[in-house]
């Protein structure tokens, strides 16, 4: 590696360390707060977002493109479009007060690539604080109160706030969403777990009651304590609202099945069910659907250029009273090949985008030429390279093998992590086991060194103990009965793990474990996963806090291959799937205790027990430590910080893009 590359790596390491330190300190603050009672730790009398009150003094200001519309009479004055003065949300700026104008060119692959732009434009009821503590603050909501035992949450909305079409946003929109979309599963999703509390005696889930108090107040009442309701809401169902006036014009419940079918066909759907799913769950893609987001769709998302323009009724300003966002529009140009995203960034044709660490070298080498800067964001990933073995895979002999902890240890020590680190991560991902990174809830000292020493003798010894035999050519291991043994790995086309896959296969086969590989598209991978047809895959875990986002660690539904159909068993109420047993059953017991917890101390206790079971069993095997996500920003784009990249925090949206601006 040349001096230039070494220097670049050193800079990245320094920045990542700063981010990690901030993240660790945030979590230390959080842990310190958990010793207080729920009412004290959540400060019910002061649960208002920071800088929530406008203090501009000089009046509200707006973007020139909107001022022209006001002058022409096609748009009301900014004062009439914003919430009441005391309810305007003031968005803190990262570096400086910005200026208006410009386009954010954003690469994407069409509507199937919907989640990236969703996170960039998302406006949840409550959002996670940028300090990395895992605590939330009001966003669309103005404030909240919670009673002493965390069974009643009173949510206050912003008076005078409006949808992007100018219609008032009120408590009726929350109640409508609850009664006509969430409960009847209009957009194809079962009611989220955050709306249930658990009876500590029976373990049964009981649904909350949601009621309107007045035009700008909603109350959520649980039968049992729901200590983490707001945090779970910020993950499970961040959009706890919907424009009632819009859905009353398209849903069969209000206009009849025949008329709704006509509407569905106008939207390009053959049935009303898909109309409900796409306009209810992927609504940001549709210009017809009013929103609260900073930018709103203006044309068909299937177009070669999908354009989102500033929302004239957006409810936030900067500290000087300038209505946000600063940037006029986001232009999403459809690319036919994912590699074009990198090429466009190198050519200076993208303002802000995120890239995997694999692109680090080429991005750093072209930084000056491309006129951009690379900002590393840390992640909550347990590793940067890893595998998962399906504990419920269909083949009974393979299932027994995967469930044998000795086999997992053997596959772990059979790989030279130092070589993987150098080849795959340029040494940035240190040789390590998949484990909770330091600074995150559940961190266990020394876990990252478990089963990490390269030792093929130990691997062979473990295979012998299990009873695996050699074939006649002494090339591959067989099952104890002499039948052929091979592990079939499935990989998504978009994963781009070829180098790592070949390294792993080389090491496995050198100790006699035959491997096969099938590459499938994303949709097929999902279908195979749900059908329990994926014996193994190349994957790791990314979790900030198991109590807030249990999906990858607790088999609540079919979502990740390592627990396979244990998830289906739980999501179907035991009607389908495979019943959890042993330590996986214990995970479910601890999860039930978390759901029924009355204090944050209990939540921390049982969350740690789940993590310790993962440490004991190492169901997910990792070979190198986490590497950063690269946020790449053109030099003329300002107010982009270095943060923690995670799905819980909503990726790039965690940086609050409404305050990005172009010089």
Confirm whether 522 is domain-assigned.
yes
* 429 and 321 both lie in a single domain: no
Question: Which of 438-472 are b and which e, b meaning 16 or more Cβ less than 10 Å from the residue's Cβ?
Answer: ebbbbbeeebbebbbebbbebbbebbeebebbeee
Helical spans, DSSP H, in 354-468:
360-365, 367-370, 396-402, 405-413, 417-425, 456-466
- Determine the structural domain holding residue 536 and report its residue range: 385-544+610-624
186: exposed, middle or buried (Cβ count in 10 Å: 0-12, 13-18, 19+):
buried
At residue 58, the pLDDT reads 52
Would 415 be classed as within a structural domain? yes
Q: Considering the domain boundaries, does residue 600 fall inside one?
A: no
Rounded to whole angstroms, the maximal C-alpha distance in the chain is 86
pLDDT of residue 112: 86
Q: Are residues 516 and 640 in the same domain?
A: no
Q: Where are the beta strands (DSSP E) in 136-294?
A: 136-138, 143-146, 152-156, 196-198, 205-207, 209-214, 217-221
CATH number of the domain where residue 171 is located: 3.40.190.10
Residue 119 shares a structural domain with residue 233: yes
Residue 108's nearest CA partner among 309, 382, 333 is: 333
Number of domains in the chain: 2
Instruction: Provide the 3-class DSSP secondary structure of residue 400.
Output: helix
Residues 344 and 389 in one domain: no
Residues of the chain with pLDDT under 50: 1-46, 49-57
Residue 360 falls inside a structural domain: no
Cα–Cα distances in angstroms (integers) from residue 568 to residues 232, 534, 554, 617, in the given order: 22, 14, 12, 21
Residues 507, 648: one domain?
Answer: no
Query: Do 495 and 635 belong together in one domain?
Result: no
Q: C-alpha angle with apex 257: 256 to 261, nearest 5 degrees?
A: 120
My answer on whether 639 and 538 are in the same domain is no
13 and 139 share one domain = yes
- CA gyration radius, the chain: 26
How far apart are the C-alpha atoms of 208 and 220, rounded to whole Å? 7
pTM here is 0.83
- 273 is a domain residue: no
Task: Please report whether residue 321 resides in a domain.
Answer: yes
- Considering the domain architecture, whether residues 90 and 211 belong to the same structural domain is answered as yes
Is residue 599 domain-resident?
no
CATH of the domain at 502: 3.10.105.10
Give domain status of residue 181, yes or no: yes
Task: Please enumerate in sequence order all residues whose Cβ is within 8 A of that of 32, keeping only pairs 6 or more positions apart, or say none.
Answer: none
507 and 634 in a common domain = no
Q: Are residues 338 and 417 in the same domain?
A: no
Query: Which residue spans within 34-135 are E strands per DSSP?
Result: 47-48, 89-90, 103-108, 126-128
Of 328, 266, 323, nearest to 296 (Cα)? 328
Same domain? 647 vs 620: no
């Amino acid at each position: 590696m040349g001096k230039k590359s070494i220097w670049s790596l050193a800079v990245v390491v320094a920045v990542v360390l700063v981010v990690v330190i901030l993240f660790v300190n945030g979590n230390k603050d959080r842990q310190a707060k958990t010793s207080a009672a729920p009412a004290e730790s959540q400060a019910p009398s002061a649960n208002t977002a920071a800088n929530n009150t406008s203090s501009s003094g000089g009046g509200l200001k707006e973007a020139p493109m909107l001022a022209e519309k006001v002058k022409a009479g096609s748009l009301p004055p900014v004062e009439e479009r914003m919430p009441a003065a005391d309810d305007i949300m003031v968005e803190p700026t990262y570096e400086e007060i910005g200026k208006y104008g410009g386009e954010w060119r954003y690469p994407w692959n069409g509507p199937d690539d919907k989640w990236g732009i969703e996170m960039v434009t998302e406006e949840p009821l409550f959002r996670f604080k940028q300090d990395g503590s895992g605590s939330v603050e009001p966003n669309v909501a103005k404030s909240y109160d919670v009673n002493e035992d965390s069974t009643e949450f009173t949510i206050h909305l912003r008076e005078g706030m409006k949808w992007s079409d100018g219609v008032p946003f009120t408590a009726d929109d929350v109640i409508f969403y609850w009664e006509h979309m969430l409960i009847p599963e209009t957009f194809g999703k079962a009611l989220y777990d955050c709306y249930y509390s658990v009876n500590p005696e029976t373990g049964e889930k009981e649904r909350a009651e949601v009621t309107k108090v007045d035009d700008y107040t909603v109350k959520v009442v649980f039968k049992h304590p729901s200590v983490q309701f707001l945090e779970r809401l910020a993950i499970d169902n961040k959009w706890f609202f919907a424009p009632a006036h819009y859905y009353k014009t398209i849903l069969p419940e209000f206009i009849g099945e025949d008329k709704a079918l006509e509407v569905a066909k106008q939207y390009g759907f053959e049935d009303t069910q898909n109309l409900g799913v796409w306009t209810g769950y992927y609504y940001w893609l549709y210009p017809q659907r009013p929103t609260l987001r900073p930018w709103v769709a203006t044309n068909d998302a299937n177009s070669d250029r999908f354009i989102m323009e500033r929302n004239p009724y957006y409810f936030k300003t900067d500290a000087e009273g300038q209505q946000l966002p600063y940037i006029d529009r986001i232009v999403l140009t459809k690319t036919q090949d994912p590699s074009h995203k990198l090429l466009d960034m190198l050519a200076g044709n993208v303002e802000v985008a995120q890239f995997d660490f694999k692109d680090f070298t080429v991005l750093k080498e072209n930084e000056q030429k491309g006129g951009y800067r690379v900002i590393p964001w840390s992640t909550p990933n347990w590793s940067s390279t890893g595998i998962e073995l399906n504990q419920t895979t269909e083949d009974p002999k393979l299932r027994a093998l995967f469930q044998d902890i000795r086999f997992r240890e053997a596959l772990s020590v059979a790989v030279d992590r130092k070589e993987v680190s150098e080849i795959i991560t340029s040494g940035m991902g240190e040789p390590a086991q998949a484990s909770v990174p330091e600074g995150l809830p559940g961190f266990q000292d020394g876990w990252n060194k478990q089963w990490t020493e390269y030792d093929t003798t130990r691997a062979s010894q473990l295979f012998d103990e299990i009873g695996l035999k050699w074939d006649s050519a002494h090339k591959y291991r067989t099952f104890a009965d002499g039948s052929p043994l091979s592990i079939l790995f499935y990989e998504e086309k978009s994963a781009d793990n070829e180098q790592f896959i070949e390294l792993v296969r080389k090491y496995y086969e050198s100790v006699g474990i035959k491997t096969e590989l099938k590459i499938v598209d994303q949709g097929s991978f999902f279908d195979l996963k749900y059908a329990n047809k994926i014996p193994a895959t190349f994957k790791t875990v990314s979790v900030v806090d198991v109590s807030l986002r249990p999906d990858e660690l607790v088999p609540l539904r079919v979502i990740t291959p390592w627990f396979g159909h244990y998830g289906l068993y739980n999501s179907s109420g035991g009607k389908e799937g495979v019943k959890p047993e042993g330590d996986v059953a214990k995970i479910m017991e601890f999860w039930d205790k978390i759901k029924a917890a009355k204090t944050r101390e209990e939540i921390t206790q049982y969350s740690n027990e789940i993590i310790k079971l993962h440490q004991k069993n190492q169901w997910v095997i990792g070979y190198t430590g986490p590497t950063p996500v690269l946020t790449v920003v053109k030099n003329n784009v300002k107010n982009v910080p270095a943060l923690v990249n995670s799905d819980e925090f909503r990726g790039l949206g965690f940086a609050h893009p409404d305050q990005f601006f172009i010089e």
